[in-house]
Chain A
Amino acid sequence: MKKEKILIIGSQQLGVNIAEFYSLRGDFVLVIDKNKDAFERLKETNYSGKTSIGDASTAEVLDANEVSSFKRAFVVTNSDNSNIYIALLLEKMYGISDITISIKDETKAALVTSPSVKTIMLNQLLFNAFLEGIN
């Protein structure tokens, strides 16, 4: 299978899991997080991709990491606002057409109207998991 270039913004648990998955698949993976301690979790996995420390909501960091060369991105920081904002930046300013973001507050999902951006509704997923557990 052809190697993909995967960009991941946010190195909390979800970002770490996605990073490890694509890294094990043999893809080229870059994880950006503004907090260097966030990469500690990655070190405990079989991740072999790259990491970069910086605020991905700024053009400096996105330019420095040449993000326009990535075809697919996951934006999974702890902040809904940052995720929506960075997704817009990646799409409108860097031409990335396959972006997935996580959102906790589902009332903000209406802000994501572009077909290039898919949303993972975290609380909805969690609730569904509870339901499955109950049933």
Chain B
Amino acid sequence: MKKVVIANGTYQAAYIIRRFLDIKGIKLIVLNDDEAFATYLTMSLGVGVFFADATKPDSFKVAGIYEADVFIALSENDITNAISCLVAKQIFKVKKTISVAKDPRNVEIFGHFGIDSVISSTFILFERIKHETEVMDKLVSTMSIDNSKIVISEFRLENSKLSNMVLKDIGFPNFANIACIFRGNDTIIPSGKTVFQNFDRIVIVTAAKNQMKVLNFLHQFDN
């Protein structure tokens, strides 16, 4: 049975605890330094919560954290998270420490401290926006039909490994169709044997919910 420790945090912690409770083979230990929230967690989720300061080695002793498999630090305070992970790792020999970080720069800094994994929602959000911006850059135009359920996207092929590749070999997703390819002044209705060329503009028909998936698929061939 895997021993997982969740230290501090509020509603984010409640969500993660709830998800872990659904997984078999996990022994969950919960610590929280906010008395009111510790009570809320016990009342709403039915889990035992140690109301304790998760940066103090004494709290770890009481909660039986020695050699736990995973320690997850979810405080709003980055210093609290870093120190509690260090107590877990250095004194209580926890195998893996995971921390959230409010300041995105702490993703790198915590790594230097020896914390195994650091998650910053701001960092993830930025990376996601950056990725989508890059993807959208290649999107020439898009239009929707049937009350926005169906989307027609035009994707420009530029610096892509898809150039000179044959359509049937690229594993194009089956939830989308290539309606046509604009090549210079020509319009090509593609078949499996169609070979892509640089600067092709690929017109794709897909359900709106799958648009990003298709664009991400094409994007993975970028040089």
Which A residues are closer than 8 A to B by beta carbons?
57-59, 81-82, 84-85, 88-89, 92-93, 105, 107-108, 110-111, 113
CB neighbours (8 Å) of A89 from chain B are 109
Q: Which of B22-72 contact A (CB under 8 A)?
A: 55-58
Residue of B nearest to A59 (CB): B105
Assess whether B109 is in contact with A110, with CB atoms less than 8 Å apart: no
Known: A58-B103, A92-B112, A113-B90. A85 touches B56 (CB 8 A): no
CB neighbours (8 Å) of A110 from chain B are 57, 90-91
Give A93 to B112 CA distance when docked, in angstroms: 8
Assess whether A85 is in contact with B83, with CB atoms less than 8 Å apart: yes
* Chain B interface, DSSP helix/strand/loop, else mixed: helix
Give A84 to B57 CA distance when docked, in angstroms: 14
Known: A92-B113, A107-B57. A85 touches B87 (CB 8 A): no
Query: Contacting B86 at CB < 8 Å: which of A57, A92, A105, A111?
Result: A111
Assess whether A108 is in contact with B57, with CB atoms less than 8 Å apart: yes
Query: Contacting A111 at CB < 8 Å: which of B91, B103, B105?
Result: B91
* Chain A interface, DSSP helix/strand/loop, else mixed: helix
Assess whether B79 is in contact with A81, with CB atoms less than 8 Å apart: yes
Size category of the B interface is 10 to 19
Q: Is B82 located at the chain interface by the 8 A CB criterion? A: yes
A-B contact count (CB 8 A): 42
Separation in Å of the B78 CB from the closest CB of chain A?
A: 8
CB neighbours (8 Å) of B82 from chain A are 85, 88
Which B residues are closer than 8 A to A by beta carbons?
55-58, 78-80, 82-83, 86-87, 90-91, 103, 105, 109, 112-113
Assess whether A88 is in contact with B113, with CB atoms less than 8 Å apart: yes
CB neighbours (8 Å) of B109 from chain A are 59, 89, 92-93
CB neighbours (8 Å) of B91 from chain A are 110-111
Query: Contacting A107 at CB < 8 Å: which of B56, B78, B79, B113?
Result: B56
Give A86 to B69 CA distance when docked, in angstroms: 27
Q: Among A57, A81, A89, A105, which residue has the most Cβ atoms of chain B within 10 A?
A: A81
Give A105 to B86 CA distance when docked, in angstroms: 15
Separation in Å of the A3 CB from the closest CB of chain B?
A: 30
Give A82 to B56 CA distance when docked, in angstroms: 13
Give A110 to B89 CA distance when docked, in angstroms: 11
Q: Among A82, A85, A107, A113, which residue has the most Cβ atoms of chain B within 10 A?
A: A85
Separation in Å of the B180 CB from the closest CB of chain A?
A: 51
Give A58 to B55 CA distance when docked, in angstroms: 19
Residue of A nearest to B84 (CB): A81
- What are 17 contact pairs spanning A and B, CB under 8 A? A57-B79, A58-B103, A59-B105, A84-B83, A84-B86, A85-B82, A88-B82, A89-B109, A92-B112, A92-B113, A93-B109, A105-B56, A107-B58, A108-B55, A108-B87, A111-B87, A111-B91
Give A110 to B87 CA distance when docked, in angstroms: 8
